[in-house]
Every structure is written in C-alpha cells, then in structure tokens.
Amino acid sequence: MGYERALSALYLEESERVPQVEYISHTEFIAKISGLNPLEKPREAQSLAFTKLDLDMIWFTYTPLEDFIAKRYESIEVRGDSWSQAYPTAWRRIIEVKSIDEILDFDPFREWSIPPLEDLAEHFREIHGEYQSIYSGQLVPGGTYHTCLMWLIKMFGLNWVVKAAYVDPKGFERLLGRFGELSLLEAKAWSQTDIKAFISHDDICSTRGPFFPINWMRKYLFPWYKRIWRELKSKGIIVLFCTDGDMTPIVDDIAEAGADGFIIEECSNLNLIAEKYGNEKVIVGGVDIGRLTYGAINDVIDEVKRCLRVAGSYPGYFINVSGSIPDNVPLINLETYFRAVKKYGRKQRTFHRG
C-alpha cells in the first residue's frame, strides 16, 4: 500500500490517508520496531522498520560524481556525537581556498573523468533497482544532493562561494554554468531510468531566507533549474525541490522553474504554501523536529495536528519531519509521533486540541 499511496499523492490523486515519508536514523527506534540490530544490519533493519511503520516513500539522493569532490578534501570524518550510532553522517573538512581565482577557474569537465551519458544512466538504473528492492514496500525516487549551487558550497564552502559571486559576477556565472552542465548530464541520465519522482536538493536558504538576492538567483540560478528539471519532466518524472531553511520567499520562483513540489522545513510558511499550491503541487514536510526533540508528548501530538490541519486535506501532501530523525529524539516522543500520524492522518478529519 505504501508505494501506491505515494504514487497517488505524487499524481495529486485522493487517498484514504495522508502519506508519509521520513528520513529515520534513530538507532534505538529502528532496533525496537524492526527487532534487528541496526549496528549489524543497518539496511535490513531500516527497511523492515519502514515496512512495519507503513511508510510510503523514502528520502533518496545519489550523486556518484561526488567522489570527485571527496578528493579535494583533507579528510573525511564520521560524526561522533548523538546524530546516529547506526547511520552516522560523513562530514568533510572544507579545503583551504587561497583565492577567488582558484574557484572561478575550476572546471569539473577538465579536472574530473566524467563518465559518458550511457554509462551514467546504466549505473543509475542499477543503484535505483538495488534500493527499490531493499525498500520494496515504499516508493524510491531518484535524486541528487547537488542540483547546481550545492556543488560549489560543498567544495569551497559557502563564504568563499558568496565572495566569488559578488566579486566577479560574470566569472561566477561561467563557473555555475559548468556545474549546471554537469547536473544537466545527471538529469539526462536519470531520465533514462524508470523512476517516478526525483528529489532535487540545493541548499540555497537559511532560516532567514535565501543566501543570495532573489533577483540574482532569478538571473543566474533558476534558469539552470528550469533546464535541468525540463529533462526529467519531459519523461513524466515528478520533480520535488528541497532546500534547508525558509523557502517561502522563493517558492513562486521554484514553481515557475518547473518544480512539481516542495520539500520544506518547519521555518517555511506551511500555511501560505499549502493555501497557494496545495491543489496543484506536492508538499512534503512541515513537522518541527524541535517539537519532537524538546517537547512533551502533547506538544508532539499538537504538532502533528497542526500540520494535518493546515495541509492534510490536500491531495499531494506528505507529512514529514523536517530534516531527519536522529538518535537524540526521545523514544517516547518518536513513538507518540508515529501513533499520532496513524490516528489523525485519515482524510477529512477535524482536529481539536487535546
């Protein structure tokens, strides 16, 4: 049922309950739900937990060309704090950039051995098939973590990227174009697979809004989004755009560029986005991870009710905790969250406090 519910929501068709997609890396919770030790069998435990939770779609992005980025870092570290014992995140130390010219002169097609389109498409088919077989009860989308600007942020760091963009706009436009072509190649390869949806991630916002002036983004960045997404949409693939931070100021531009939906964090204005786009776009997210981490049980229930009250009646809404669910979320709150989604997630309910 999960796969079919996800597909119905992606196509803006009505279903009996609100679908759900989560990025769960909570070691204890996955162990409890699955009955397996995720430290020994991480994927098997996660897959079984997702099935028992009756989730509908998984979070998935994959960029094999990221291996080239890793070579430019001094080291790759595994995060050792409370993020997740079983599903730790690899953190890279940003390389030392000596000048803006070093950034502006970089050409990935010159520096890296980029595989041809056919080889890349075949590789995507294999990887997606592997993940879809592991998470057989859920819809596995395609996806990239680097729609365009994220390439530069991960390689050089946000501060240097912003400096380069302001000091030499024309040079930066050329640089962005090189990486836009790289992402366009990936989009063409993904369009030759059988994916139904595609998560297009680019961190271009903070909690205070976009990193760059919106007019600058309209001139230099969003045209690349439009070109990249056109390749996917031409094959009927649903494009979901995702960024950290508050997407609200640019949501109209993202829609204009061709995104079929938005994956939003709690700092985005769910009310505004749902009211304007709920009947014509897919909307994923809105649940505040802070409520799950620091709130009481009633706070968690109220947060679920809030999101469902605002967006739950729209056909393309997926309830989702912003970002991911790490180990430091209290187990009782996490269990409460999933029970509340199951209890209140049926369509056409009226929600009351308490």
At the top level of CATH, the class of 2-344 is: alpha beta
* Cα-based distances in Å from 157 to 52, 106, 191, 295: 40, 14, 30, 33
* Cα-based distances in Å from 351 to 168, 322, 347: 53, 22, 11
Asked whether the beta carbons of 201 and 144 are under 8 A apart, the reply is: yes
pLDDT at 340: 98
| Across 275-286, average pLDDT | 97
Residue spans per domain, the chain: 2-344
3-state SS class at 252: helix
Q: Tokens standing for 323? A: 């970002």
Rounded Cα gap, residues 32 and 46, in angstroms: 11
Q: Tokens standing for 182? A: 């790289």
Phi, psi of 239 (to 5 degrees): -100, 120
Q: What is the pLDDT of residues 192-211, one digit of tens each?
A: 999 999 999 999 999 999 98
| Across 121-149, average pLDDT | 96
Asked whether the beta carbons of 334 and 84 are under 8 A apart, the reply is: no
CB burial string 267-294: b at 16+ within 10 A, e below? bbbbeebbeebbeebbbbbbbbbebbbe
Quickly state the pLDDT bin for 158 (edges 50, 70, 90): confident
Q: What is the pLDDT of residues 340-354, one digit of tens each?
A: 999 999 876 444 444
* 50 Cβ contact list (under 8 Å, min separation 6): 24, 58, 135, 137, 138
Quickly state the pLDDT bin for 82 (edges 50, 70, 90): low
| Across 126-135, average pLDDT | 96
